[in-house]
Structure 1
Amino acid sequence: MIKTFSFSILFFLGAVLSTFFNVEELASKESVVVLSSESYLKIKGKTNVSTFECQFDMTTISDAIRIHYKDYNQSIKFTDTKLILPNVEFNCGGKAINKDFNKLLNTEEYPEIILKLKEISKVKHQNNTTTATIEITISNIVKSYTVPISITNDHNIQVSGVMPLDINDFNLTAPTKMLGMVKVSPKIEIQFSLKILKP
């Protein structure tokens, strides 16, 4: 299984670079980071009768993540910096809902969610917040989002945020239950809190 964890979430990498490596030149750079076991990434959604949460198994991300970037005045831009999330590593709390989740994502045909980090702004707002541009591939459809992220910097770096998605943007059709009376909302969220360590 590919150990290079792609969604997601890589929003944190810009903060790592500017804090740990103090890069100033426009030449292409390369480095690695490691995710702490305290990190999490989950997809949250709701139906017309309840809510659900599918959490990614972070223990599958044991290797260092290699990143490639250029540092500009206002932003850090990345090339080929991604996390690959196997759909089957999401646990929604039971076999039946896991099956529905994988049916929703067309796992048999497209077994992975791919998140590519494109850019992180250096412009800080209130409470140490900034923005990241993320390219996400679900069911072979690619969309880009600009996502607000918050950064906590103590001994290590911790980055957290919420990325709202509409499954209709990816041509996904949510399964229904009980003769169509239970329906999944097309609005979902990817929530993440990623603690970064130097390897």
Structure 2
Amino acid sequence: MIRTFLFLFLFLLGPVKQSVSETKVLDSKESVVFFSSDSYLKIKGKTNVSTFECNFDMTAISEAIKISYKDYDKKIKFDDTKLILPNLEFNCGGKMINKDFNELLNTEEFPEITLKLKEISKVKINDNSITVTIEIKISDIIKTYKIPVSITENSNLHVNGVMPLDINDFNLTAPTKMLGMVKVSPQIEIQFSLKILES
């Protein structure tokens, strides 16, 4: 079952408990959640002549997802909570650029990107922003990032964030076009706007 790194935000649905110990487990919880249809996740990048955007087909994550986590005094740690993104579910707007995108990610050998939520901090950056620790696996290389994520809560939980990446960190080599005149910048972004519902 596909699980998502973004379920960290469930802790905001209830009161935050206090403890004199950072290592003491305050609570262990399980829940089942899913994304609303207007959620999105995309990878954005640029070349020396233009920009590109590859949108993930969110219907590939249509099933409800079970998660579990441990609540500590100043952070929350998740148990194997991950979002698996098949590379072929990204649409960059045309057959040729889709081919280039999959060539970049070495899809034939490594067909998916895995985003794994490790932990979140309960210390807020501001009124609606927290820091999350995410582990990302691309082309069988794993890197860990800390990123700010903004949260709003209306009828459901709305989570937004941007994860900047350098493709060189994953030993990826972008294809070049027109005798090497068109080159992809190594700096890309994973952008997400997810509306999370609890079943």
Q: TM-score, normalised by structure 1?
A: 0.92
Say yes or no: does 1:15 pair with 2:13. no
Relative distance call for 1:76 and 1:194 in structure 2 (3 A) is same
Gaps of 5+ in 1: none
125-134 or 102-111, larger mean C-alpha shift? 125-134
Please tell me whether the aligned partners of residues 5 and 85 of structure 1 are also in contact (alpha carbons under 8 angstroms): no
What is the Cα-based RMSD across aligned positions, in Å? Answer: 1.5
How far off is 1:187 after superposition? 0.2
State the match for 2:2 in structure 1: 4
Quick one: distance in 2 between partners of 1:53 and 1:68?
A: 32
Give the alignment's TM-score, normalised by structure 2.
Answer: 0.92
Distance 1:47 1:81 in 2: 33
Q: Does 1:78 align with 2:78?
A: yes
Distance 1:102 1:162, change over 3 A: same
Percent identity over the alignment?
A: 70
Query: Alpha-carbon deviations, 1:132-181, whole Å to 9, x = none?
Result: 10000000000000010000011211110100000000000000000000
- Alpha carbons 2:27, 2:72 under 8 Å: kept: no
1:1-199 aligned at under 5 Å gives the runs 4=2, 6=4, 10-11=5-6, 13-19=7-13, 22=15, 26-199=26-199
Query: For structure 1, which segment, 152-161 or 181-190, has the greater mean C-alpha deviation from structure 2 after superposition?
Result: 152-161
Q: Distance in 2 between matches of 1:5 and 1:191?
A: 18
Shift, 1:23, TM fit: 7.3
C-alpha deviation, 1:56, in angstroms: 0.1
Residue identity opposite 1:16 in structure 2: L
Highest CA radius of gyration, 1 or 2?
2
Q: How many equivalent residue pairs? A: 192
Measure, in 2, the Cα distance between the counterparts of 1:23 and 1:111.
39
- The CA distance in 1 between the partners of 2:89 and 2:130, in whole Å, is 29
Partner Cα separation in structure 1 for residue 119 and residue 189 of structure 2? 20
For residues 182 and 5 of structure 1, do their structure 2 counterparts lie closer, same or farther at Cα, with a shift above 3 Å needed? farther
Greater shift in the superposed pair: 30-39 or 101-110: 30-39
1:23–1:71: 8 Å Cα contact kept in structure 2? no
CA offset at residue 5 of structure 1? 5.3
| Cα drift, residue 27 of structure 1 | 4.6
Name the SS for the 2:196 alignment partner.
strand
